[in-house]
Chains A and B, each alone.
Chain A
């Protein structure tokens, strides 16, 4: 059995090496530490995107948040033990999500004073629009396989700390202690936020989730 790279992988390497970013990536992944970090980021990036997407309800903002979290982790904490990366990464990500939410709120307030925005339907940045709407709620949108979408919408409407605790436990699979480290709070607080989140979601979706 030959150890030579296949034609496809050789082509991929050539393409990567040709681009500035790809060249840097290849040199970065040449050392084992970079490979470990690459593996970690590859493992968390999609879950992180879903978390950010549920919180921000905007794909581009969610991608920005994940990219910033990756950059910060790589630049500032890559030399820390790999076991610390997960809580650090999610803490950075949550901070970034809140920054984006605050920025969106401020932008909405400023735009509200602009004369040309009076007629515009900029509901995306409207805090009223972002507030939970108890009726009809996600349940009304549940139709067969739509339960997943309804769950994501309901999670997105949870208060920030409850959403964070629920997703870190159920999407990322962290235990209570890891979740507490990621959220920067006590384990007791995590349990409280989590149980409230579950209770709230069960009230909205319970009969469709069993």
Chain B
């Protein structure tokens, strides 16, 4: 049983106009829609990779082309990383920055300036004189 109300005059007129607009599609658009339909039917039983290629994508974007190339690139990258890891031992540049941070946060430095260690200063002066004489 159809309990939907009858369309009004306005709705009937709107339907007519919309149907007319569908019938008036230009030949170029109709042709492209047909091509799109054929591509969809061709991709119906295809894998996602070949379905992608069915969308007229450039060949370099085809997954069947990308997959082997990607594998080779991954192997080359691992080889380069392994080689560079064994041949090059980078200096730990962060150690200097950590030392500076330790000095800044070290309370001993502040205490030294407030209460000088006279024994140390005398020893250091003596060592300096000894070095000067030795030179």
Residues of A within 8 A of B (CB): 21-22, 24-25, 28-29, 34, 37-38, 41-42, 45-47, 49-50, 59, 63, 66-67, 70-71, 73-75, 78, 147-148, 151-152, 166-167, 170-171, 173, 175-176, 198, 201-202, 206, 209-210
Contact = CB atoms under 8 A, between A and B. Distances in A.
Contacts of A73: 40
Nearest to B30: A46
Contacts of B51: 71, 75
A34 B46 CA distance: 13
Contacts of B104: none
B29 A171 contact: no
Q: Which 8 A-B pairs have the closest CB atoms?
A: A24-B42, A70-B40, A67-B36, A74-B40, A25-B38, A74-B44, A28-B41, A148-B17
A148 B13 contact: no
Contacts of B33: 45-46, 49, 63, 66
B11 A198 contact: yes
B55 interface: yes
10 contacts: A28-B44, A38-B41, A45-B36, A46-B25, A63-B33, A70-B40, A71-B51, A73-B40, A74-B40, A175-B2
B29 A71 contact: no
Given A46-B22, A71-B51, A175 B44 contact: no
In the complex, which of the residues B8, B54, B55 has the most CB atoms of chain A within 10 Å of its own CB atom? B54
Main secondary structure of the interface of A (DSSP, over half): helix
Contact of A176 (B4, B11, B19, B22): B4
Contacts of A46: 22, 25, 30, 33
Contact of B38 (A22, A49, A209): A22
Contacts of A147: 17
B43 to A, nearest CB: 6
Contacts of B39: 21, 67, 70-71
Nearest to A191: B4
A167 B18 contact: yes
Nearest to B44: A74
Contacts of A22: 38
Given A78-B44, A170-B14, A201-B14, A70 B37 contact: yes
B10 interface: yes
Given A151-B17, A170-B15, A63 B36 contact: yes
A25 B55 CA distance: 14
B68 to A, nearest CB: 21
Given A151-B14, A198-B11, A209-B10, A50 B21 contact: yes
